[in-house]
Amino acid sequence: MDICNVILNKCRTYNNIQLEIAIKAKPTYDHLVGETVEIIVGPYAGQQGIVSMVDSDSELAIVNIDFFGRATPTEVSVEDVKIV
């Protein structure tokens, strides 16, 4: 093999690694911030609130639910909410 083929093969390997990293990337849930959502699972099922913060790494959302006239921040999984 000449040097050009060696470099070309290294570039292909690098591109495949980059593609694998892109495929395995975690989804972000930043689009939920500010949205009104309904909790669909757990003890707060049926409650609605506004998402104030999302942690995409742990896939948790802070939803402000109205309890007794006050917004109460409640931590739930992003899988346990749906946008209304």
CATH of the domain at 75: 2.30.30.30
Q: Is the pLDDT of residue 82 over 80?
A: yes
| Partners of residue 75 on adjacent β-strands | 62
- Encode pLDDT of 31-41 as tens digits: 999 999 999 99
- Encode pLDDT of 22-33 as tens digits: 555 677 888 999
**Residue 42: strand, helix, or coil:** coil
Residue 67 is part of which domain span? 3-83
The number of domains in the chain is 1
| Ramachandran angles phi, psi of 4, nearest 5° | -65, -45
User: Tell me, what's the pLDDT at 28?
Assistant: 83
Q: DSSP letters of 44-66?
A: TTT-EEEEEEEETTTTEEEEEEE
